[in-house]
């Protein structure tokens, strides 16, 4: 049993390292390609993503999406027809405000420690995620 725990910790550490390297690699590889954000001005989650893009000085092409039109091009990116959706080069589309913001923080913010939007402490980060989720739900409902 004692050999199990160190082995598990080592596997987790290796997985974390690989994910971190992938995130850094992803930001370097796709950093020169224009991000495309499908959004709507009245969507709280879309506004949040636009704010985060601004905080990281990320250029993006903004495509105002009228989801009720159910355009085929947009449905091919997100069959649920929800906003926002971000496309980063040839990578799979990212769907949802919180998901996109965490991705931006992990790929852009990790290289700018002083400008990270989410705290380093995992408990404080979890609380920040809870508050963001609550705020987005409240703003979308009103």
Beta strands in 69-119 (DSSP E): 85-88, 94-95
Residue 42 has pLDDT above 60, yes or no: yes
Each residue of 100-139: pLDDT tens digit? 999 999 888 877 777 788 888 999 999 999 999 999 999 9
Name the token pair of 38: 């499908």
CB 105 within 8 A of CB 118: yes
pLDDT for the residue numbered 41: 95
pLDDT for the residue numbered 9: 58
Name the more confident of 9 and 1.
9
pLDDT for the residue numbered 30: 47
pLDDT for the residue numbered 111: 74
Prediction pTM value? 0.74
Beta strands in the chain (DSSP E): 35-39, 60-64, 85-88, 94-95
Name the token pair of 29: 């590889």
């Amino acid at each position: 049993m004692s050999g199990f725990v160190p082995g598990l910790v080592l596997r987790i550490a290796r997985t974390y390292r690989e994910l971190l390297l992938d995130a850094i690699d992803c930001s370097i590889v796709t950093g020169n390609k224009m991000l495309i954000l499908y959004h709507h001005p009245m969507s709280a989650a879309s506004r949040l993503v636009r704010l985060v893009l601004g905080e990281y000085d990320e250029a993006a092409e903004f495509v105002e999406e009228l989801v009720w039109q159910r355009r085929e091009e947009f449905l091919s990116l997100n069959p649920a027809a929800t906003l926002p959706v971000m496309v980063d080069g040839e990578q799979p589309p990212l769907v949802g405000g919180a998901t996109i913001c965490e991705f931006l923080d992990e790929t852009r913010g990790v290289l700018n420690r002083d400008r990270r939007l989410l705290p380093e402490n995992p408990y404080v980060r979890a609380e920040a995620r809870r508050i963001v989720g609550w705020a987005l739900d409240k703003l979308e409902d009103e």
